[in-house]
Structure 1
Amino acid sequence: MAEIVPVDDPADPRLKDYVDLRDVQLRKLLESERGVFIAEGEKVVRRALESGHEARSFLMAPRWLETLADVLEGTDAPVYVMPEKEIERVTGFHVHRGALASLDRRPVPPVAEVLADARRVVVAEDLMDHTNVGAVFRSAAALGFDAVILSPRCADPLYRRAIKVSMGSVFWLPYARVEDWYGFPDLMRSLGWTSLAMTLSEDARDLRDVAAGDLGEKVALMVGAEGDGLSPHWSRGADVRVTIPMAADIDSLNVAAATAVACWALGPRPAGRAGPVVE
């Protein structure tokens, strides 16, 4: 069972994993150096532990000890308990969902390993916004896709904000990060994947028409960076370029919304959900 540890000093070194959670650059450095990530909120903390991630510690206000009692019974990690105002001094914001956990990161598997058992994947190129990355994971998971592949410059899916927006789907939906950005389109083709590039190019086909056709067994939906979209190299390297027709005076959707629409159009029609219920 977890050890309950009252703490009254926000500068206590045992709280180092939780310092300045709103400072994105600092957190990227600290979390990569320590091999950790932060889960925020009761449901997300539960899902992180249910997925098999090991907790290093917890930080919460006293009123959350009872709510998470069953979780704390199953771990030996320390639980640092502080008043909410003091927690805010540590983290830099009000933790209104009650609980935080610091957990160990797992090694990210190679692309080929993640693709081996997949049939529908989302490939994201250079998404810099953690909210969009989290939303892409949530849509892919909810609509029956098997994995997400990230380009080298995509934002970290285990950053606190991305985890929260994904509602924890980053914990159980497999993902990998591309090493050879330039050769990736050719790699997908060599592995038998049909790549569909979401683009506004003049030769792009109506997504509905493409989805109604025979795309083969393995389909990769490629979506690009906020604003610029897919790079010309990845767009030209795809097998088919597709677009979502827009009403007059609107040229496109936000990348997260476009991904959701495309996943719905291209995904399987499962009888049930592929993973835990996403609320």
Structure 2
Amino acid sequence: MPSIIEISDLTDPRLDLFARLTEAQLRNRLEPEKGIFIAESPKVIQLALDAGHAPVAFLMERKHVQGQAQSLLARCGDIPVYTADRDVLAALTGYPLTRGILCAIRRPQLPAMEDICQGARRVAVLEGIVDTTNVGAIFRSAAALHMDAVLLSPTCCDPLNRRAVRVSMGTVFQIPWARLGDRAEDWPAGGLERLHALGFQTVAMALSDNALPIDAPRLMAAEKLAIVLGTEGDGLAAATIARCDYTACIPMSHGVDSLNVAAASAVAFWQLRARPAGFP
């Protein structure tokens, strides 16, 4: 049974997980095995539990203990559940809780890129994307639109950031992901070499005079394709584009030069999804 703890002191150090630790402190870079991330809302927490992630503690509105959190709590054994009214929780965290429930969860050990790419035909590669909303939206599109994995350059934001997890609607727990190295110098040369070694052709999504249209038959027919998307504003680095096998762009109208990276990812993932054998 969970241990229900009524919040009486907002400075209680047991609440630091939810109120005072930064994202970097939650990740615990020096000892990743001790890291924590925060999942928000019953649906997202349910997906995290379904994926086998271990809960550490809950923070929720009092009404949810016997309400919509009951099925979650039944799965989590004897862990602390900190509770209070909605306005008290907002004062503690600094923001209104989405559907009134947060869960602190143990960070998983990330798999190697080579492991999650075994058998994959389409992967998304994110270079330096730092906006948590964009990362969450890209994960949601990748999961929905037939990508087999998401790979991140060392400078991408953390997909287990609270907002990224929420915007992804929990799909960050459903689609495999890994980093292409831990240091900035591991990308692009090292990361792209690893993809090529696995048999992937790489396509840089970028504005270029010699870019292929995104519906080019050679792209759609590729057996294994890595779709490389760049950071907000500047897009992909020139060195990355030069090392990719192809450059492609989404044709625009009305003088618009490009889409937001999250919107562009959805178009690219759908158009370049793996086709059945024999597709012309």
- Shared fold, TM over 0.5: yes
User: How many Å separate the matches in 1 of 2:253 and 2:218?
Assistant: 20
Three-state SS of the structure 1 residue aligned to 2:111 is coil
In 2, the alpha carbon distance for the partners of 1:213 and 1:61 equals 49
User: Aligned residue for 2:163?
Assistant: 161
Pairing partner for 1:83 from 82, 85, 94: 85
- Is the contact made by 1:143 and 1:268 (CA closer than 8 Å) also made in structure 2? no
Unaligned runs of 5+ in 1: 271-279
Rounded to whole Å, the distance in 1 between the matches of 2:129 and 2:217 is: 24
Q: Verify the 8 A CA contact 1:157 1:163 in the aligned structure 2.
A: yes
* Shift, 1:54, TM fit: 0.5
Cα displacement (A) at 1:128: 0.7
Determine what percentage of the aligned residue pairs are the same residue. Answer: 43
8 Å contact 2:141–2:265 — kept in the other structure? yes
Deviates more, 1:112-121 or 1:194-203: 112-121
**Contact persistence 2:221–2:274 (CA under 8 A):** no
Shift of 1:263: 0.4
- 1:229 is aligned to 235
3-state SS, counterpart of residue 47 of structure 1 = helix
Deviation at residue 226 of structure 1 after TM alignment = 0.4
Which whole-Å CA distance do the structure 2 matches of 1:96 and 1:204 have between them? Answer: 42
Q: 110-119 vs 147-156, which deviates more?
A: 110-119
Does 1:219 find its partner at 2:225?
Answer: yes
Matches of 1:257 and 1:211 in 2, distance apart?
Answer: 23
The root-mean-square deviation of aligned C-alpha atoms, in Å, is 1.7
What TM-score does the superposition give when structure 2 sets the normalisation length? 0.90
CA distance in structure 2 between the aligned counterparts of 1:124 and 1:229, rounded to whole angstroms: 10
Equivalent residue number for residue 32 of structure 1 = 28
Taking a change above 3 Å as real, the CA distance of residues 152 and 259 of structure 1, as seen in their structure-2 partners, is same
CA separation in 2, counterparts of 1:155 and 1:57? 24
Q: 1:211 and 1:47, CA in 2 relative to 1: closer, same or farther beyond 3 A?
A: farther
1:27 and 1:103 map into 2 onto residues whose CA distance is 13
1:147-191 deviation digits (Å, cap 9, x = unpaired): 000000000000000001100000121101011212222221121
Which residue number corresponds to residue 99 of structure 2? 97
CA distance in 1, matches of 2:218, 2:109: 34
Query: Once the two structures are superposed, what CA deviation does each residue of 1:20-76 show, in whole Å capped at 9, x if it has no partner?
Result: 48xxxx222333355000011111111111111110000001111121111111212
Q: For 1:246-265, what per-residue CA distance to the aligned partner results, in whole angstroms no more than 9, with x for missing partners?
A: 00310000000000000010
> Cα offset for 1:9?
1.1
Q: Secondary structure at the match of 1:97?
A: helix
**Residue 73 of structure 1 pairs with residue 80 of structure 2:** no
Determine helix, strand or coil for the equivalent of 2:104: strand
Secondary structure of the equivalent of 1:161?
helix
Q: Aligned partners of 2:180 and 2:197: how far apart in 1?
A: 15
User: What is the 5 A alignment of 1:203-214?
Assistant: 203-210=210-217, 213-214=220-221
Q: Is the 8 A contact 1:40 1:160 kept in 2?
A: yes
Which range moves more in the overlay, 12-21 or 119-128?
A: 12-21
Q: Secondary structure at the match of 1:126?
A: coil
Q: Distance in 2 between matches of 1:20 and 1:251?
A: 41
Q: In structure 2, what is the equivalent of residue 136 of structure 1?
A: 138
- List structure 1 runs of 4+ shifted beyond 6 angstroms: none
Tell me whether 1:238 sits opposite 2:240 in the alignment: no
Could you list the runs of 5+ residues in structure 2 that have no partner in the other structure?
none
Q: Distance in 2 between matches of 1:9 and 1:205?
A: 60
Counterpart of 1:119, as a letter, is R
In structure 1, the residue matched to 2:3 is 3
Question: How many equivalent residue pairs?
Answer: 265
